Amino acid sequence: MADPKTIEAMLDEQRKFPPPAEFGRRATIQDDAVYREAAKDLEGFWARLAGEKLEWIRKWDKTLEWNPPWAKWFIGGKLNVSANCLDRHVAAGHGDRIAYRWLGENDDERALTYADLHGEVQKFANVLKGLGVGKGDRVAIYMPMIPELPIAMLACARIGAVHGVVFGGFSSEALRDRILDAEAKVLVTADGGYRRGAVVPLKQNADASLAETPSIGHVVVVRRTGEKVDMKRGRDVWWHDAMAKAPAQCPPEAMDSEDMLYILYTSGTTGKPKGIVHTTAGYLLGVTTTFQWIFDWREEDVYWCAADIGWVTGHSYIVYAPLASGATSVMYEGTPDHPARDRWWQIVERYKVSVIYMAPTAIRSFMKWGTELPAKRDLSSLRLLGSVGEPINPEAWIWYHQNIGRGRCPIVDTWWQTETGSIMITPLPALTTRFRASKPTSSMRRASPRTAVT
């Protein structure tokens, strides 16, 4: 039996780790004025940010209607999430900026600019409209980590449809339950996806679920692996065929600030999937602000959230926040240990990743695999590390700091939930530089300024 004193010691870490002074001098948020502003006038604080960070079709009439636990933000305002993520960057002359550097598990590689995404999203929005999808309709998405996944999400947002992404590792039963609950009209999937060298039969799984989902009228299938799949006449269509016929232009729908953006199912504590709803304006402002502040985002950054879009982390910090900010992101299809256990560090080296965001579970796996794997890779491009998903233990924090950040990168240990949609409690890296040093496993202050959390 383990000695309780040993367990207590493993959870106790008192060392402090101030980031380099240069980090603080260049940081997006350099003092605690944001906390003071929010404490003085919360509604005015968020109204200012909404005007600065989002592009509106119609300005809101009322910033907040708060009847706990219900909140409505920017009442009367109209905007489009897809336009905020794409159109405004292209119009500002940034169409040539890389939005995603995508790498497949089998080393396929694509670079998509904001102009590329803008064009593909408009075409797929027209594909969906041609299949009878309109504002408020539900679209289920069951795909691997390929660029067509965010394209499908943004196409839904463009026409006001509600997407429900189902993690590609889930079973046909899990897909069925989510389709039934959402009453989705269209399913977007792929012939398969790669995972640890094997093909995940996504279309086969989808077909098994569709036998019990009468609401689905059409299925759009991306050809990813080239596996032979059954295509049901009149229901199934290949993505590339549909895109070849789609009109190139699709104006964005004007969406109310409280219109639904997506449903994401979480099992919670009951085992039965519960649909978490996130709406348009408040969600987009929350993820965009937290992304820019917490990750100290700079235009020259190459950012990598090493999560799956099937989870809320991927929705918020692979798709919506980075694209709304005009960021360049890495997107990877595979797992950390294939084709080799240094795959992630190879990716950091290849793309010169400057900000990386990952789960403590992954960090603990890397610890087991040894320090020699990251040591043989050039990780000098990294300047900021993030943690998400569950509490990080002190040993993992220290290992991450020493072996990945090489002792010079601040760590933002973030706390939030599927229900919140964006980060709620975290260090802000420059504030820990000026006022206090980072303490391993301490979430420190709230991301949305209110009070300190110790």
Q: What is the pLDDT along the chain (454 residues), one digit of tens a residue?
A: 444 444 444 556 667 777 777 787 788 888 888 999 999 999 999 999 999 999 999 999 999 999 998 999 999 999 999 999 999 999 999 999 999 999 999 999 999 999 999 999 999 999 999 999 999 999 999 999 999 999 999 999 999 999 999 999 999 999 999 999 999 999 999 999 999 999 999 999 999 999 999 999 999 999 999 999 999 999 999 999 999 999 999 999 999 999 999 999 987 556 678 999 999 999 999 999 999 999 999 999 999 999 999 999 999 999 999 999 999 999 999 999 999 999 999 999 999 999 999 999 999 999 999 999 999 999 999 999 999 999 899 999 999 999 999 999 999 999 999 999 999 999 888 775 444 455 676 666 544 444 333 2
Pairwise CA distance, residues 291 & 442, whole Å: 19
324 and 447 share one domain = yes
Residue 446's pLDDT is 47
For residue 216, give the CATH number of its domain.
3.40.50.980
Pairwise CA distance, residues 142 & 135, whole Å: 20
For residue 43, give the CATH number of its domain.
3.40.50.12780
DSSP 8-class letter at 104: -
Residue 173's pLDDT is 95
Question: What range defines the domain where residue 239 resides?
Answer: 114-253
Residue 21's pLDDT is 76
Residue at a domain's end among 222, 253, 284 = 253
Residues 6 or more apart whose CB falls under 8 angstroms from that of 73 comprise 46, 63, 64, 257, 258, 281, 282, 285
Residue at a domain's end among 187, 222, 253 = 253
Pairwise CA distance, residues 210 & 86, whole Å: 33
- 103 falls within a domain: no
- 147 falls within a domain: yes
245 and 281 share one domain = no
306 and 389 share one domain = yes
- 108 falls within a domain: no
Do the Cβ atoms of 147 and 103 come closer than 8 Å?
Answer: no
Question: What sign has the CA pseudo-torsion 72, 73, 79, 80?
Answer: negative
Domain count, the chain: 2
This prediction has a pTM of 0.93
249 and 280 share one domain = no
245 and 284 share one domain = no
- 397 falls within a domain: yes
Residue 270's pLDDT is 63
303 and 431 share one domain = yes
Do the Cβ atoms of 422 and 276 come closer than 8 Å?
Answer: no
296 and 343 share one domain = yes
439 and 348 share one domain = yes
- 339 falls within a domain: yes
- 5 falls within a domain: no
Residues 6 or more apart whose CB falls under 8 angstroms from that of 161 comprise 128, 133, 134, 135, 136, 137, 138, 139, 155
295 and 439 share one domain = yes
- 264 falls within a domain: no
- 291 falls within a domain: yes
Three-state secondary-structure class, residue 216: coil
Residue 38's pLDDT is 94
Residue 32's pLDDT is 84
CA distances from 338 to 191, 195, 208, 303, 334 (A): 21, 8, 28, 21, 7
355 and 313 share one domain = yes
66 and 177 share one domain = no
Residue at a domain's end among 220, 253, 286 = 253
42 and 140 share one domain = no
Write out the E strands in 80-214: 98-103, 109-113, 138-142, 162-165, 186-190, 193-195, 198-200
